[in-house]
Each structure stands twice: as C-alpha cells, then as structure tokens.
C-alpha cells in the first residue's frame, strides 16, 4: 500500500508580500525550495501560525536568497505581512520506503537557520 507522508517543511517563514490580483499560488525563495526539495508547481499545504488558517496551493519559484514568501491570488486573504507560516509538502511512498522529511527552520528574514 502507498501512503502520503511529509517530505518537506519550511518552518516559521514570514510572509513578505501579498498580491490579490495575481493568478494564485505561493512564491517561495528558490534557496529554501532547494534546501528541502520542493519543486516549482508542487502542491503545498500552508498553515498560518498567527490565525490558524490552513490552505493548499502550488509553488512559484522566487528569486534566490530573496527571502520571498508571497501569498498570491485568493491565498493573499489567508495571512498578513509578517505572519509566520509553516509550508509543508507531502509525497506518496510505499510503506517500506524511507520517508524522512527535510525541514528548514528560518530566521526572521527567511534565511536558513538550521536544517533538520
């Protein structure tokens, strides 16, 4: 049997921009994406620590080392600038397949603080 398991997490990133008129998605700094193995266009779940809202969207690659965490389209209504979010991606794995998630903890400017 295959099951969904967490494969990547960006922990406590801060929202840096919002664009309600954009086509929709979340823009993430490419450095953070590479650190945990998230791909452009991948489905992610976003949890807003400040207000408890959860939503799913797809990822757009942001500029390298920009610290960008931007909510676009309808997702822009799910948080405010400076809100802390957890961004999670899941993968489909066989039960006997290794599935340890890569986690990046970031600082207040969305720079990598540590990798777990």
- For residues 13, 114, 65, 21, the Cα torsion angle rounded to the nearest 10 degrees is -20
66 catalytic, yes or no?
no
Catalytic residue among 19, 22, 58, 66: 58
DSSP string, 5-73: EEEEEEEEEE--EEETTSSSEEEEEHHHHHHHT--TT-EEEEEETTT--EEEEEEEEEPTTS--EEEEG
58 catalytic, yes or no?
yes
| 18 φ, ψ (degrees, to nearest 5) | -140, 140
Catalytic residue among 22, 25, 66, 90: 25
Instruction: Give the residue numbers marked as catalytic.
Output: 25, 58
């Amino acid at each position: 049997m295959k099951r969904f398991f967490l494969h990547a997490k960006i922990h406590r990133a801060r929202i840096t921009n919002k664009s309600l008129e954009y086509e929709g998605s979340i823009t993430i700094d490419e450095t953070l994406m590479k650190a945990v193995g998230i791909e452009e266009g991948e489905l992610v779940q976003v949890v807003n620590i400040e207000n408890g809202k959860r939503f799913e969207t797809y990822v757009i690659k942001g500029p390298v080392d920009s610290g960008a965490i931007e909510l676009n389209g309808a997702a822009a209504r799910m948080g405010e600038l400076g809100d802390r979010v957890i961004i999670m991606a899941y993968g489909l794995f066989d039960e006997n397949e290794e599935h340890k998630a890569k986690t990046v903890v970031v600082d207040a400017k969305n720079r990598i603080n540590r990798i777990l």
